Structure 1
Amino acid sequence: MPSSLAHRLVPFLLVLGSIVSLGIGTSLAKEFLFPLIGAAGTSALRTGFSAIILLVLWRPWQAAMTRRELAFTALYGMTLGVMNLCFYLALKTIPFGLAVAIEFIGPLTVTVLYSRKLTDFVWIVLAVGGMLMILPLRGNQSGLDLTGVIYSLVAAFGWGLYIVFGKKVSHRHSGQTVAIGLVFASAVTIPVGMTDAGAIISHPYLLLVGLLVAVISSSLPMTLEMAALKRLPHKTFGILVSMEPAVAAAVAYLLLAENLTLIQILAIALSVTAGVGSAITARTYTHTGAE
């Protein structure tokens, strides 16, 4: 492979690797951890171990931080915790790909609102139209669990706020910010997940599984994303990340045997189209920070 072609392909492979890694890690969590420690316990293990890994890797205590930066980092982390917790709770009752598609409304809304271009609101209409096809509304035979959908929508709101607060501290080292943010995220998820601590004590190997899930679904994807962002324009990065609902659905089909109806596949396609469209036309504002 010519060096110039390899140089161009590397950032795309980094983003693809990040999305696939996230999908595999989340699928493993749903398959092996949910039945024993529940969604909340799994979320606690994931954020807790991810915080430890990134703290050791980036050593954020070595950099000074103002009170304002600490406050926004705390908000950034807590919304990340809410997003992770609610997303995992949603996965208990609705397919992975659909949960991601619903959750994607959060970053898409932020992107469009910060752009403030009238044409960009078309993408919100497109995404919402796709969601209306699958939401359990009156007369809509979607078959989706209402509780799972609500958790996905809360996760979407959390993802949107996570981006807003993250932008406030985007001038800081991204790895250090994420590490500190995950500490605050763990402060949200661990108290809730402690209700399932008994199962972890009874099955100590779950700690190893939780560590594996944390690496595959958080630490590795975040590291790959940061490496890709250094090599790609934000707009191109946003286009690639917009493929996440489709990749999640494909991974869930292969690993979890989650089959989708034609209507559900179409809804995911509309979500991806909306994400790609907003990334192309909106002002620079990244979707970084997958569930």
Structure 2
Amino acid sequence: MFRNKKMALPALPAVLLSMISIQSGASLAKQLFPVLGISGVATLRIGISAMVLYGFFRPDFRKRTRKELLLGLLYGLCLGAMNLIFYFAIQRIPLGLGVTLEFLGPLVLALAGSHKLLDWIWALLAGLGIFLIAPWNEDTVDVLGIILAILAGAFWAGYIVIGGKISKMMKSGDAVTLGMLFASLFVIPFGVFSGDLNVLNGNLLLLGLAVALLTSAIPFSLDMGALRQLPSKTFSILMSLHPAFAALSGLLFLNEQLSLIQAIAITCVIAASIGATLTIKKK
């Protein structure tokens, strides 16, 4: 997490650490779904993250302008909706398919308005990897799950665009804390009224704290630092590494084996990310 701009990590390490953190936490969250339900896990993730970030950064929101607060609200809504909708999506479809479909949002954002051949090459290569990693050959694919995953991707694109704007208006810690607080106002009612939190105990609360830190508090703060240094389009292309880190996390924590096609897909997204990184250095 970042206190100020001087202490911020370089963009590339920040993005890589963010993705490692998110996918490790996602593996833990997936194991909690049968116990706490989708809304319960999302509520713990967002709610605890908001409290941890506020306690760490102690931002004074009274000094914020109306425009900054409005952007914070929009950022928080995108953040909360992205997480909640994606959890509901992967309840209905496989995690790998959910991740690849969700990435359509950042991929479209990366392609939008691009006039450089290199940008198209890296984005299209990442898109090839996404296409290959998705289990299109399965007989039963839940249509609603697919729609929800694509919708989560749209909110992911919004999170990138608005996050890029707000990160340039206030400190990274203040921005992500403000967004997380607004996100908690959106998500918590789902957890409360669903009844998923009725089984909550001390052990589950600690696991929820781990999920919150790994999937929200730490990576979103890292993202804010990276967005200060990168254009939204480049940040979106780098996000193509998410399927690779998801596969590695699944292998390490969930014992999920990779097929040959999935390995080829991961190679595509890694190549796209390396290419995007080389492009960054030339800018």
Q: State TM-score, norm by structure 2.
A: 0.79
Distance change >3 Å, CA 28–CA 152, structure 1 → 2: same
1:18 maps to what in 2? 18
Are residues 1:70 and 2:69 paired?
yes
2:205 maps to what in 1? 207
Distance change >3 Å, CA 282–CA 118, structure 1 → 2: farther
Q: CA deviation at 1:251?
A: 0.8
List runs of 5+ in structure 1 lacking aligned partners: 1-8, 286-291
Does structure 1 conserve the Cα–Cα contact (< 8 Å) formed by 2:176 and 2:224?
A: no
Comparing 266-275 with 11-20, greater Cα deviation is found at 11-20
Q: CA deviation at 1:48?
A: 0.7
1:95-244 aligned at under 5 Å gives the runs: 95-113=94-112, 115-133=114-132, 140-141=137-138, 144-171=141-168, 172-197=170-195, 199-205=196-202, 206-224=204-222, 234=230, 242-244=240-242
Q: Structure 1 CA distance, aligned partners of 2:96 and 2:55? A: 32
Distance change >3 Å, CA 146–CA 132, structure 1 → 2: farther
Q: CA deviation at 1:100?
A: 2.8
Does structure 2 conserve the Cα–Cα contact (< 8 Å) formed by 1:115 and 1:282?
A: no
Does structure 1 conserve the Cα–Cα contact (< 8 Å) formed by 2:172 and 2:221?
A: no
Comparing 109-118 with 127-136, greater Cα deviation is found at 127-136
Q: CA deviation at 1:91?
A: 2.6
Amino acid at match of 2:18: S
Q: Structure 2 CA distance, aligned partners of 1:122 and 1:10? A: 24
Q: Structure 2 CA distance, aligned partners of 1:109 and 1:48? A: 30
Q: CA deviation at 1:167?
A: 2.1
- The alignment covers a number of residue pairs equal to 271
Q: CA deviation at 1:182?
A: 0.7
Query: Deviation digits for residues 67-126 of structure 1, max 9, x if unmatched?
Result: 111111111110111111122223324444443333223223323325432442334433
Q: Secondary structure of 1:60's partner?
A: coil
Distance change >3 Å, CA 263–CA 151, structure 1 → 2: farther
Q: Structure 1 CA distance, aligned partners of 2:63 and 2:13? A: 34
Q: Secondary structure of 1:157's partner?
A: helix
Comparing 112-121 with 38-47, greater Cα deviation is found at 112-121
Q: CA deviation at 1:217?
A: 1.9
Identity of aligned residues (%): 42
Q: Structure 2 CA distance, aligned partners of 1:88 and 1:284? A: 37
Q: Structure 2 CA distance, aligned partners of 1:34 and 1:276? A: 34
List runs of 5+ in structure 2 lacking aligned partners: 1-8
Amino acid at match of 1:19: M
Does structure 2 conserve the Cα–Cα contact (< 8 Å) formed by 1:45 and 1:210?
A: yes
Q: CA deviation at 1:45?
A: 1.2
